[in-house]
Structures are given as C-alpha cells and as structure tokens.
Amino acid sequence: MSTPSPFTLAQKNILITGASSGIGRATAIQCAHMGATVFITGRNQQRLTETFTQLPGEGHQMVCADLTLLADVERLVSMLTTVDGLVLSFGVIGLVPLLAYTEEKLTQMQQVNLNAPVLLLRYILKKRKFAPRASIVFVSSAAGVYRVTPANGIYASTKSALDAMMRTAALELAKRGIRCNSVNPAIIETEGSATLSWTDEQREAECQKYPLRRFGRPEDVAYGIIYLLSDASSWVTGTSIKIDGGRTLS
C-alpha cells in the first residue's frame, strides 16, 4: 500500500487572496491541481472569474472583495468555514524615486501591501476560522528583504515590514500550531511587472543579471507556496524562501 504524498493538499481548504492575476492566480490553479478546495478573492470581478474557470475539481468558491475595506473583509471572512491554509498574495508595485515621495504614495502602498494582509490575518484569527496546524504564507519579495534598487524604496519597505510581521506572527501563533512563512520572489513575469517603465534593452540587461538567465514565472512561486501549505513543511515556520533565479547571489 502506497504512502500518501506529504506534498498533497487533498482535504485542505485554502484561501488565496490576489487570485485575479499573477502569483495569486497561478497559486490557486496549482493548489486545486494538488487536491485543495480553494476559496479565491480579488478586486477585479472579470479577472477573478477567469481564474475560477481554470480551477480543476469541485467545491471551489470565489468572492470579489477589496481587502483594504473593513466591510469587504468582514463579508469575506463570514463566508469562510475552516481554513487550513491562507495565501496573502495581493499587493501593488511601483517605482518611485526618493524625491517624488509623497505622503499619499507612501500611505497607498503601505495600505495595500502591509496593512491589509496583516489586518485580514488578524480578523480571521479573531473569528477562529483557522484549522489546527494551519499554514499561512505571506507573498513578500526579495526587494527590501535581500536587496535594494533605486526608486524601489516604498515597495521594498512594505515587503521588509511584511516579512517582519510574518516572523512575529510565527512566534505568536506557534503555541496554536499555526505556521507562518513567506516566499520572496525577484522579478516575476506578471501583469504588474509588465507595467515597469523599461525599454527592451533595459529589460534584457536586467534579465542577464539573473544566473538562470530568465525572470520567474508565477508557477515558480506557486510551487514554493504549495510546499509551505503542505504537510511536507510541517516543521517549518518563521522562514523566508528566496525564489529569485539566483539574483541575490550577486
């Protein structure tokens, strides 16, 4: 009789935020392929529906919500049953030189990238929706945590803070058997990264800085997230996993 794979997500209920595109979408699809029942959320109804139609299996749910709004957070959490895994994948990117900083730009990115995921986590905990030995995965970044680049200070600072929150939550929630970890990608080919104002020459020059000579794909990150959601990582908490094609080696 074969032993079940520790990497399976069968019989796990996984909530995935930011599932309307990019890493969130890829994670939702791959989690469903691994046997999970997924609950997906995002702000864009059309794109979220596109993700939903790609999910294999049955029993999945979706809800369009803006998680910077308390009313939407409350509505989303009220629809949850037991959560075995939470993937905090929503966020925004943008290059802003130091001299162009404004209070509005600082606040906007902090609200989406840091405040909203942390407050969502708090609300799910408050409503006691997590199953025993649940796993929480923060989608952070190599930016700020492992390296910095010009004009990326606001984004990098929110991701550094998110990793700090992850480690603190890992300590506080360990007594409940809940694990917290993060994945830290470098540049991933998503709709968001496509908005960066690069010429073709600049883009190629940046790509050549990666030892593996390519930017990441959303699935590259999704596979790391699946490991952290699965029982294969049952003794892993408070850990940041670089998924960067070797970019931070230099």
| CA neighbor of 141 nearest in space, from 221, 210, 211, 81 | 221
Q: How far apart are CA 83 and CA 130, in angstroms?
A: 5
Which residues are bridge partners to 130 per DSSP? 83
Residue 109: closest CA among 61, 144, 133, 74:
144
| Contact predicate 181/239, CB 8 Å | yes
Catalytic residue among 155, 210, 223, 227: 155
Instruction: Calculate the alpha carbon distances from 130 to 14, 24, 122, 133, 208 in Å.
Output: 10, 20, 11, 8, 43
The verdict on whether 155 is a catalytic residue reads: yes
CA distances from 115 to 88, 120, 134, 158, 164 (A): 12, 8, 21, 9, 13
Please list, in sequence order, all residues whose beta carbon lies within 8 angstroms of the beta carbon of residue 182, skipping any fewer than 6 positions away.
137, 138, 139, 140, 162, 163, 166, 239, 240, 241
Tokens of 72: 């939407």
Q: What is the 3-state secondary structure of 99-126? A: HHCCHHHHHHHHHHHHHHHHHHHHHHHH
Residues acting as catalytic residues: 155
